[in-house]
A = this chain, B = another copy of it.
Amino acid sequence: MYLSPDAGIIGPRSLCESMATEADPDAETPDTYEQFRSHVEQLNYVGDAAGVLQWDQEVMMPDEGTPARSKQSAALSTLHHDLLTDDDVGEWLDELEDEDLDPEQQAVVREVRRQHDRAAKVPGDLVQRISEATSNALPVWKEAKADDDFDAFADTLEELIQLKREYAEAIDPDRDPYEVLFEEYEPYLGLDTAEEALENLRETLVPLIDDIKDSDAELADPFAGDTYDDDTQEELVRSALDYLGYDWDRGRLDTAPHPFSTGTQFDARVTTRFDPEDPLGALGSTIHEFGHATYTLGLPDEHYGTPLGESRDLSVHESQSRLWENHVGRSLPFWEGFAPTVEDGLGVSGSPQEFYEAANTVHPENLIRVEADELTYHMHIVLRFEIERDLIQGNLDVSEVPQVWNDKMEEYLGVRPDTDAEGCLQDIHWCHGSFGYFPTYSLGSVLAAQLYAAAEEEIDDLDAQIRDGDFEALHEWLTDNVHSHGARYETDDLIEEATGESFTADYFLEYADEKYRDLYNC
């Protein structure tokens, strides 16, 4: 690394002079909690540094930068792991669990305990084997997908399943391995709750989607038949971010092959991508990422570095993206307010109702999860959940995956993929060893509806505010009830605090039923 110092600003600080966090030996010995907290902060700063490297890699890095970046990222991961599994952490946790801590401190101890135990229980060589297997799996999966050849990926998938079973067993040999893996992404809601919600979705949405398919309703599409260049679309999504209240002093928008959001409460960035024929795709995905970033930006500044300044896990994060994407961005009031900007920006004419219809068209024939509409999306998730659960629990053989996948697609959506590339090879998650991740997408949507219902209850005429482009009260409600708590509460307690109820799919199902039966007149 070299920073050219010619302008006299960058260079003169050698690393040696910028070390700001050395311990001062003359200071009083801090108590255990302070030592512990300081250590936790360091490890989280390293994790966030790794996030900056990853953002750069996806958004800015030149093509041939990968070899060096891989080494840098791996070094930070190792340091993060070493700091998390440090024996001191275990000793501090043991000691602190016996002490009389305040509730915030207890929450920090609880969260670090969970992360520490999970990381410390998995032997280094297993971590290494999983890392190698997932690295090796990536090109195999890509080629299998390109060749539409599931068999070429089957052995790799089998190996990953075995490794992740071993991983789950290392963490807790006495429990369902799928449950243990699921908790990596959603630690508190419980697999039972997730299963119940997903069953609920399947039972309610399959007949609803059937009715939509049978409906004669033809939804408007003012965008059809034209193309929209990148600059025009970028201007539009920037306007949308302005409209929704994105804090540009703590964020930025760029393009990336796969939209994502990353950062901290001081700097939460979003990315998007543009398809010339589908400006609503960029708009929806930008609003989705805005929802993630808004959660991150709502975390308390003063707790940056500890779990109190970190987001709750994936279900809650996804609830924030889905709330903005669907309950705001796909609502009629939003289109009543935002339609003029779209008309001006894209040169498209349409009524708010027509834009609203275009944004909510259901496409049961679509085979690809990431292109799915708000409704059929969940059937893609239910299917993946059922298959990966059975694979990990040993109730399904890898060789059966294509057949089961296609059967379920037919059963849930009435469409059968012609190829595995458009079927069971489409997602990267399993190739990454990420079994247990998929359910959090649907849990997030379900939770979004529950939270939005609570916000509607408490905010006076939220629809009118959205129509007026006034999102202050909604931002405030979400900050007060969700964001500002960081990871202080377990997921179910957070939901109870925010909504007065346990986690439930009822709000989502009611919302979906009402909205789509109305749209499709069915």
Contact = CB atoms under 8 A, between A and B. Distances in A.
A165 interface: no
Contact of A66 (B64, B70, B266): B266
Contact of A22 (B65, B124, B257): B124
Contacts of A67: 266, 301, 304
A169 interface: no
B12 A437 contact: yes
A260 B19 contact: no
Interface string A176-215: 0000000011000000000000000000000000000000
Q: How many copies does the complex hold?
A: 2
A216 interface: no
A448 B128 CA distance: 47
Contacts of A250: 62-65
Contacts of A29: none
Contacts of A251: 62
A278 to B, nearest CB: 14
Contacts of A60: 60, 252
A442 interface: no
A396 interface: no
Contact of A79 (B14, B79, B131): B79
Interface in A454-491: none
Interface string A125-167: 1011011101100000000000000000000000000000000
A261 to B, nearest CB: 4
Contacts of A76: 45-46, 49
A24 B262 CA distance: 32
Contact of A258 (B10, B48, B62): B10
Contact of A10 (B58, B132, B305): B58
A130 B432 contact: no
Interface in A50-84: 50-54, 56, 58, 60-81
A111 interface: no
Main secondary structure of the interface of A (DSSP, over half): helix
A18 B429 CA distance: 14
A482 B73 CA distance: 29
A427 interface: yes
Contact of A289 (B4, B64, B248): B4
A264 interface: yes
Nearest to A270: B4
Contact of A45 (B4, B72, B127, B285): B72
Contacts of A217: none
A22 B62 contact: no
Interface residues of A, number: 118
A15 B128 contact: no
B8 A258 contact: yes
A51 B49 CA distance: 11
A217 B52 CA distance: 53
Interface in A110-131: 118-119, 122, 124-125, 127-128, 130-131
Considering residues A4, A125, A295, A428, which has the most beta carbons from chain B within 10 angstroms of its beta carbon?
Answer: A4
Interface string A398-435: 00000000000000000000000000000111001110
B131 A17 contact: yes
Contact of A370 (B7, B17, B304): B7
A292 interface: yes
B184 A14 contact: yes
A321 B5 CA distance: 11
Contacts of A56: 52, 56
Nearest to A48: B1
A54 B10 contact: yes
Nearest to A305: B71
Contact of A124 (B25, B262, B288, B434): B25
Interface of A: 1-26, 41-42, 45-54, 56, 58, 60-81, 118-119, 122, 124-125, 127-128, 130-132, 134-135, 184-185, 248-252, 257-269, 285, 288-289, 292, 295-296, 301, 304-305, 311, 314, 317-318, 321, 369-370, 427-429, 432-434, 437, 441
5 contacts: A4-B262, A6-B441, A16-B119, A65-B266, A67-B266
Given A8-B369, A17-B134, A18-B73, 4 more contacts: A6-B285, A19-B74, A49-B72, A52-B53
Q: Which 3 A-B pairs have the closest CB atoms?
A: A1-B51, A65-B267, A7-B258
